[in-house]
Amino acid sequence: MKIARTPAPAFSAPSSTGGTVSLSDYVGKGRYLVLYFYPGSFTYGCTRETVRFRDAQAELNALGADLVGVSPDALSTQCKFANHYMVRFPIVADPDRTIAGAYSALFPLLSRVQRLTFIIDPDGNIAARFHHELLFEKHVDDAIAFMKKVRGEA
């Protein structure tokens, strides 16, 4: 779903690839960022969604988008998860749910993270938002379709 372009909230957090990952690492570089939130590593749906993103990484990269995953798990869990499933893009640790809160990715009245995907344009604006709690694999399809449309391939 395309939305009105609003500035993406800044974030900076440790990731599975080592070091800190920030929104500023991606803004102004001429590429889009696919930023997806998931409730927890090593769960059935979150694993399937992340593996689908992993498998689609080359296609999304070729379409001009980079990937970052975010969940409330501790950094040690993120690293184990990424290593176990051979995920090469950053998975960010957000145990205090600060990033999820900034992106309104928490269920109202709960501290549980929703399954949301944002596409952030090269200028740092949210260009699209996808929300499918049960159709977790659809996030990848939506991201690819959006990027193809941006590039005039759809």
Residues tagged active-site: 46
Cα distances (angstroms) measured from residue 108 to each of 44, 91, 124: 23, 24, 26
How far is 40 from 132, CA to CA, in rounded Å?
Answer: 15
Contacting residues for 63 by C-beta, under 8 A, at least 6 apart: 144, 147, 148, 150, 151, 153
Contact present, 37 and 70 (Cβ < 8 Å): yes
- Residue ranges in the chain assigned as alpha helix (H): 44-62, 75-84, 98-102, 138-150
Bridge-based pairing of strands 32-37 and 65-71 is: parallel
Quick one: which H or E segment has residue 134? none
